[in-house]
Amino acid sequence: MTLFLSTFINKLDKKGRVSVPASFRLMLGGQTFQGIVGFRSYKLPTIEGMGIDRMQRLSESVDQFDVFSEAQDDLTATIFADAQMMAFDGDGRVVVPPLLLEHAKIQESVAFVGRGATFQIWNPTLFEDHQKEARKRVHEKKATFKIWGPHA
């Protein structure tokens, strides 16, 4: 199972290249495409990131909608038409397309933020603000979740 954890801040060079954290590359190592897939979040100023295997699972989920339905059309236009495959170079870097950098307001540094099965790519300052707000909402709502399964 792929599991992206922690937050890493890396520099973006003038060519739009950034080093993907080693632990993230390790999680992506056994996939058919050696790199990451990213697309603009439709909720936040961030890039949604994942491996090609997870992207395939998203595609299968969209197939559950009626063919040519508005919901299917909207999801495919929002996610798949926007998705960019970013291959690793020999140094474990990817080139992030300008469209994605602009959406996430990334200029000099990149925050890779683990989210379990996926990750996000943020402007570090915007992520810090987002994380503070998320923590505040969790605290105010006293949010919890149940642990299930044999190891609970």
Where helices occur in the chain by DSSP H, the ranges are 22-28, 52-62, 70-75, 98-103, 124-141
Classified as helix, coil or strand, 120 is: strand
SS (H, E, C) 89-111: CCCCEEECCHHHHHHCCCCCEEE
Give residue-wise pLDDT tens across range 54-91.
Answer: 999 999 988 888 778 888 888 888 899 999 999 999 99
* Residue 124 pLDDT: 98
Give the tens place of pLDDT for each residue, 104-113: 999 999 999 9
List, in order, residues 6 or more apart from 134 with CB less than 8 Å away: none
The answer to whether residue 151 scores a pLDDT higher than 80 is no
pTM above 0.75, yes or no: yes
Domains along the sequence of the chain with CATH: 7-123 (3.40.1550.20)
Nearest to 50 by CA among 64, 62, 33: 33
- d(CA 4, CA 98) in angstroms, rounded, equals 24
